[in-house]
Structure 1
């Protein structure tokens, strides 16, 4: 396996703590107690995602939150309510906020690096949307999830986009219509998260997942993630045609030649850095 750079940087003054080590970029929401997705927080997350699009030293991204009761409470309602005094009643600011959020969620899905959510605590509304948008989600047994905008007269339509694509329709609508919180076990049953683990092992298990993925061929992971989401929106025949073309492209890739040769040679492959 090609060497994965091991560097570590921290930006303590940001609402998002940034660490890079062993090919894993860890982005930690650090604006307690709600870890809300204010406009500045979303901008910080967006900047980090955009900044590593073509960075070969980053193989996997982990989204986490500072220790506390809340992983992410969604949009900053105090920030949004304060803008109701604007001349337009807050319309322009609301458009900016939801536009930034939509771009952020799409960036997670379309990012060439796999994104893993590490959840310990409450994830509500747009916070739940973050979880649903990530490629993998691992939660502590103390975590709960909900899209409870309906409780304050706001149907969580944008979180509903992510839920509709990751959950069974009736499970998604149950969450959206009732606003009730579900525990981690139910979230796994609904398909919102992959695993439920004891809180004390959460970071260790997420890191292990990230390390396993970081050790795979970067080009294969990039192609695979992109194709997975592309084919999901196609009919069966189109999906197979598209995936077959990608498999041909993948087979012609240097990493595939190296991987097969390493398999027959009973050695570890040396992946080509992208």
Structure 2
């Protein structure tokens, strides 16, 4: 469906790109997709979402029980059912683990049925939709954040999931897929673990690492919060956006590297 929409509106995209003074991409993958659609590279500016560093803070994963938290709509591209399958495998090796799933959507009922079928419903909490304050408190009590995002069969994919940034800001390690903008935020082995899409075994193994090693979880979480503070805070995102608007309004926009554009890189010795 998504691919069909893009193809049927390709001419309109071209007209939009021509008229735009600036085009903002919230992930590096989106940046490349826009270029493939015909967007001039010099008009594209990377600016991921920013999060409130005061609201999302104060996690202590090294002191928390082995509870994982997942936050997001229950839709195909976020694949909550695959998160459940990975968690089920984790329980084989670490039966004390727990999972809190926050959100709602078309796959919510299916996921509850799957938890029942897997015999893990007593260890999975489905909260439904909750506000930011609830999410923040849930993250503060968790060992790690988990999300198995994929490119869905209809072509739909993530931009940069805000919940991933919020989790790192809180101080949680993130176990997720190397999908779309997630890999711009999470540094594999330094702020969390990234696995291939659909690799349930690898996700379960990564979850097991942080479940069995609280000190590792704490180290990853501290590095993750620092990374968000340096590159993905609300203040930084708004400052980038203001700079883009100012340059575009003055007709002086040019995609030139600056200190903010290295967010997708893992520098030697970083954290």
Fold similarity call, TM over 0.5: no
Q: Structure 1 length as normaliser, TM-score?
A: 0.28
